[in-house]
Amino acid sequence: MPTALELAAGHPALQQAVRRSRALLHRRALVAATASVVPVPGLDWAVDAALLTRLIPRISSEFGLLPNQIDRLDPAQRERVQKAVALVGSVLIGKLITLDLVLRLAQTLGMRLTARQAARFVPLAGQAVSAVMGYTTLRYIGEQHIRDCVEVARAAQLRLPGEAEEITRRTNARP
């Protein structure tokens, strides 16, 4: 399965959006890992849910796929985006990200999260395993969302936020 950067190959604006999204994802996954170390039952779930309800919309905004960004598109472009979302099968793109939606997403990763809960109560090694699992769980969800966003943006031939300004800047910079 190709990565988001491989899917964005040949499209500089998409590649930059992937890089910015990954940097944001990495920072949030580190916070999730830190929360996973604390041996307070349920704290990691609460932190993950809070992080994801903020992270997913930030990633979507990088690709112009927030609900309000999609609503501002012309009808033909909006229809292409909606068809691309259906084709990709994303449940997060173009949706208002609620706690309920995040919890349903977390249920699909339930076994991984349950193992993380149990691992943290084993001194040191268990907390390290829990932190790694916290990082990788959030990273997995985020990477999948980035990949879905790239696929939708490419399929819909979507112009990303700031892309027009970048093209204008490059055109004006040429002698």
**pLDDT, tens digit, 9 for 90 and up, residues 32-51:** 888 877 777 777 778 888 88
SS3 for 172? helix
What confidence score (pLDDT) does residue 168 get?
Answer: 47
Report the alpha-carbon distance of residue 63 to residue 113 in Å, rounded.
Answer: 29
Burial 25-39 (b: 16+ CB within 10 A, else e): beebbebbbebbeee
pTM above 0.75, yes or no: yes
Q: Which ranges of the chain have pLDDT less than 70?
A: 103-126, 164-175
Tokens matching residue 108: 């699909």
What confidence score (pLDDT) does residue 108 get?
Answer: 59
Q: Residue type at 6?
A: E
What confidence score (pLDDT) does residue 14 get?
Answer: 94
SS3 for 143? helix
Residue 17 burial by Cβ neighbours in a 10 Å radius (0-12, 13-18, 19+)? buried
